[in-house]
Amino acid sequence: MKRRDFLHKGALGTAGFILSSNTGWSPAPVSQTTDSRIEVLFDEPLGTISRNIYGHFAENLSGVLYDGIWVGKKSRIPNINGLRKELIEHMRKIKAPVIRYPGGCFADSYDWRDGIGLAEKRPRRTNFWANAESEKAPSSHRYDPNAVGTNEFVHFCKLIGAEPYLAANVRSLPASAFYQWVEYCNSPAGSTTLADARAAAGYAEPFRVKYWGVGNESWGCGGEFTPQEYAVEFRRYATWLPGYGDELRLIASGPNTDDWNWTREFLGEVVRKGPGELHRIYGMALHHYAWNLSRGKTQDWEAGKGDALKFDPVDWYELLREGERMEGLITGHWQILGEFDHEHRVKLIVDEWGPWYRPGSEATPGNLLEQIPTLRDAVFSGMTLDIFNGHSDKVAMANCAQLINCLNNLYLAHEDKFVITPVGHVFELYASHQGGNALRSIFSAPTLHYDRDGKPASFWGLHGSASVRDKNLTITAVNPSTNESRLAEIALRGASVKGATISLISDSDIHAHNTFEQRNVVVPRTKPLSLSGGTFVVEFPPASVAALNIQLN
Ligand code: AHR
């Protein structure tokens, strides 16, 4: 089965300090020989890291919205106007910049008009994912009660301090429904009937929603369009939208993984009306899931998947290999964009990324597409965020799929239970990159070797990224080896250290994960380091994600 079929079915030093995994931090000067090197080049800035690279995705899918985000106003679970309070608090902590909603595939079945007005009068509708839900799933997962709509979602974003990114329905609603959604959200108080409807719900002031997706996966669940057909639809939906003084940033539905043809044919058709048409596009979405752990044995969407919790080192590496494709996907699609958009105005928006495992490891049995992230997913996520940082000139936004109770979630929640996953902790560690100036950094480390079904295979030994903001330098790095630590000399070319802390996510068990019962198995450990000068040594334990926060002189 292919992914699109599945979705269709659903619709249907020198002086140095050692950090080690088990013992913590030893302040003794390092005498061992380093095997790796990280050079941070202050003279080679790469550009500002868009805050939105650290974005999220919350679809109306199974337990994401109902139970995950929304607990209801009358719930005994601590909430702010029905929205889960603990979630909001942690998302503030990680400075969540932007949240994409309501899908995903759900978006192209959704009529935003069902989700406004008095909650008790809102209609119940069959959710896009209903066919894939089990009989035991709560009714709200199959039949959308519309308790959460635009008001509640935007309110959720505002409570967090995040920008909403709304995905419009291109498959099953006309363009007029799209511009009226913009009107509902953004028209000034008292100006239109829809502004009055918004005010009646308690939101007189416009929401000023900037980011709008024009459909989702239009090559699949979003309409099974050809790239040319979708380009025609895109031009039509984007041709006139009310601005109300704010620039709308329209995001076109882009390719699945390495579908270079989609990118080329879509852009080719857009510019057939003239190159000026490109100005309508703020970004082109790219989706990439790491799902095929079969090591080349199959391309079948079901058979190729691995288990979230039960895996061998070879599966660990295979997942990272699949995730590391992101590097080539960004540069490849960017190159094609450049064939049409010579000034590179149109950016990449990686609005769905993460690992996707087979069913069976749900924290709440029955939750569709829910999986429990382990240390492997933390390393995967750190690696991916480092890739985005390294392409800050190309990637304007990225949205981890998905925020809560689904795929590469940062959080798991059920009723009054809530836990931050290792992925959530990675976002904590990486938050200080947001808005920083990326610096070219060179990581060199011994290549690691492993057995891939009787054949020798290799993977890089240490990777990461660096950024500076004012006098604060952040270096993040992942050590992908399941059993070897790396001792790296870090050289700052053009700066020196005043003070530093290091935070580390690691565990001696590569399967380590947090559950409702054991919430703190994988948590970051942070310590101050007393460093000085421009060169120092840090040990990166096996299977780790690290963040160094360095104050500069
Ligand atoms: O994230 C789950 C699904 O994956 C989304 O709904 C869809 O866009 C993608 O195929």
User: Distance between CA atoms of 402 and 53, rounded to whole angstroms?
Assistant: 14
Q: 292: CA distance to ligand 1 center in Å?
A: 16
Report how far ligand 1's centroid is from the alpha carbon of 61 (Å). Answer: 9
Residue to mutate (ligand 1; options 170, 287, 288, 402; most atoms within 8 A of CB): 287
Residue nearest (by alpha carbon) to ligand 1 atom 6 = 104
Instruction: Work out which ligand 1 atom sits closest to the CA atom of 59.
Output: 6
- Model confidence at 24, pLDDT cuts 50, 70, 90, reads very low
Cα 156 from chain centroid (whole Å): 18
Whether 4 has a pLDDT exceeding 60, the answer reads no
Q: How far apart are CA 258 and CA 508, in angstroms?
A: 35
DSSP 239-261: H----TTS--EEEE---BTT-HH
- The pLDDT-based confidence of 31 (bands split at 50, 70, 90) is low
pLDDT band at 428 (very low <50, low <70, confident <90, very high): very high
Query: What is the model's pLDDT at position 19?
Result: 43
Atom of ligand 1 nearest to the CA of 222: 8
What pLDDT score does 7 carry?
55
- Cα-to-centroid distance, 106 and ligand 1 (Å): 8
Return the minimum-mean-pLDDT range out of 10-19, 40-49, 86-95, 264-273: 10-19
- Per-residue exposure over 241-274, b if at least 16 CB sit within 10 Å of its own CB, e if not: beebeeebbbbbbbbbbebeebbbbbbebbbeee
Q: Residue 102: is the preceding peptide bond cis (ω within 30°)?
A: yes
DSSP β-bridge partners for residue 486: 540
- pTM of the shown model: 0.95
Average pLDDT over residues 270-277: 95
Q: Which residues approach ligand 1 with their CB closer than 6 A?
A: 7, 59, 103-105, 216-217, 352, 401-402, 407
Residue 227 has pLDDT above 80, yes or no: yes
Annotation marks residue 352 as catalytic = yes
Does 495 score more than 50 pLDDT? yes
Which residue's CA is the nearest one to ligand 1's atom 2?
A: 104
Secondary structure of residue 195 in the 3-state scheme: helix
What does the mean pLDDT of the chain come to?
94
Q: Are 224 and 165 in contact (CB under 8 A)?
A: no
Atom of ligand 1 nearest to the CA of 216: 8
Radius of gyration in angstroms for the set of CA atoms belonging to the chain, rounded to a whole number: 23
Question: What string of DSSP letters covers 117-151?
Answer: S-GGGPPPEE-TTGGGS-TTS-HHHHEE---S-HH
Which pLDDT does position 27 carry in this prediction? 39
Q: How far apart are CA 33 and CA 19, in angstroms?
A: 15
pLDDT value for 28:
37
Report the C-alpha gap between 62 and 491 in whole angstroms.
Answer: 47
Contact 63, 369 (CB under 8 A): no
Q: Which of 233, 352, 428, 539 is catalytic?
A: 352
Q: Does the pLDDT value for residue 487 go beyond 50? A: yes
The predicted pLDDT at position 6 comes to 54
Residue 25 has a pLDDT of 43
The whole-number pLDDT of residue 531 equals 84
What proportion of the chain, given as a percentage, has pLDDT over 90?
A: 93
Please give the pLDDT value at position 309: 98
Q: What's the confidence (pLDDT) of residue 383?
A: 98
Residues of the chain by 3-state class (helix, strand, coil), percent to 5: 30, 30, 40
DSSP letter string, 400-463: EE-SBSSSS-SEEEETTEEEE-HHHHHHHHHGGGTTPEEEEEEEE-PPEEEEETTEEEEE-S-E
Bond preceding residue 402 cis, omega within 30 of 0: yes
Annotated catalytic residue 39: no
CA of 105 to the centre of ligand 1 (A): 6
Task: Please check whether residue 372 is in contact with residue 258, taking contact to mean a CB–CB distance below 8 angstroms.
Answer: no
Cα torsion for 487, 491, 496, 497, to the nearest 10°? Answer: -20
Which ligand 1 atom is at minimum distance from the Cα of 57?
1
Q: Residue 429 in contact with residue 465, Cβ under 8 Å?
A: no
Structure tokens at 81: 């106007």
d(CA 47, CA 390): 9
Q: Is the pLDDT of residue 191 over 80?
A: yes
Average pLDDT for 401-429: 98
- Compute the distance from residue 547 Cα to the ligand 1 centre, in Å: 30
**pLDDT-derived band of residue 457, with 50, 70 and 90 as boundaries?**
very high
Give the number of residues written for the chain: 553
